[in-house]
A and B are shown apart, each in its own frame.
Chain A
């Protein structure tokens, strides 16, 4: 299994600012993903965080808005840039452990509110 710590767990942000969310895993993982859950909605994949290279973004998401870093096998960050109220969401980190059983593990999520 994998234990995932996300920081911050929640934050209130001002329009136009940027916020970086951290995802720390207690063990090495092969794949790391970032999802967004808008209020009352399901989860949507933002991007795959690739170690040592640029993230792979899904349709509708761009690097300028959601820059992602993954410097090693246990850590990744997602930045939400130039925030607007529409960015108010829960952002979740998900991982596939090195000992791959096919299961994906999720962090508790980071709940952002943009005023």
Chain B
């Protein structure tokens, strides 16, 4: 079955960088576009970034544009999110999600918590 497992979260100081990973299994990773979605503590879901199935197209939320970079390595079945110039407001659980049936986010990982704090 489809499985997405995020890793790389942790506590980081403002202005520093962090890389999140999402290991995919149970499907042909290279055939699906992927997204990152985040959820601040006690808040709702917020879309972060998109990457096409071939990796040649990326889109970003305005709040992270220029600071975050989404990428993928189909040889490793892994999705990445490189985050730089981190701010306290970036504190959230970060989920990777597969764009599947009907362009829905049809599978989600369990999330990884990023805390930006001194």
Q: Do A and B bind each other?
A: no
Instruction: Identify the B interface with A (CB < 8 A).
Output: none
